[in-house]
A and B are shown apart, each in its own frame.
Chain A
């Protein structure tokens, strides 16, 4: 499987500020995704990060609130903008389509635990 790292692993932020989360993969991948996992809940897809073009957002998520970049096949960022306490969650990066496995398998990073005060 791919080795996926996320930075920061956790952060405590003030209301109204923004935080950028980085996701780095040790090999080139075709697909990268960003998920949110609220406390005690399942995973909700925020968007698909497309290399070289704008991300594809799911219903209920917008680019102004969650801008995403994907400058190459191994790296992506998710920004949580103008944060409120409701944004306190775990944010997870996932990848699909590594050179070593089939394209239908998705692997997750360790997550970024965000607390907004």
Chain B
């Protein structure tokens, strides 16, 4: 079945820096979702994308649905300590019921 390649696997940055992560798929998706998971919690939805080329912001977070429909990226501007966590991308093929998840990007911030 389809797989998602999420990169980078981990990031170590200084507070205030911008962050960028991305996901690519082997097939065309019609939905991209970005989640954040903190220790001991379930994933929390950050941004949902439904159209190719769509660019959506949620505070300091911005995500885009790639034109090819096979990729998506998430940017975090001016990182702060509470941004620490694991970020997961998830996508769904046209007509499919289930989501496919990336392997996650672990974000660590040095104050």
Contacts and interface: CB of A to CB of B under 8 A. Distances in A.
Contacts of A42: 88, 101-104
Contacts, number: 46
Interface in B1-21: none
Contacts of A111: 40-42
Interface in B51-106: 88, 90, 92, 97-99, 101-104
Interface residues of B, number: 21
A67 interface: no
A43 B101 contact: yes
B111 to A, nearest CB: 24
B88 A45 contact: no
Given A31-B97, A104-B31, A113 B92 contact: no
Nearest to A59: B1
List the 4 closest pairs (A to B, CB-CB), nearest first.
Answer: A108-B42, A111-B42, A110-B42, A108-B43
Given A43-B88, A105-B33, 10 more contacts: A48-B98, A58-B98, A102-B50, A104-B48, A104-B92, A106-B99, A108-B35, A108-B42, A109-B42, A110-B41
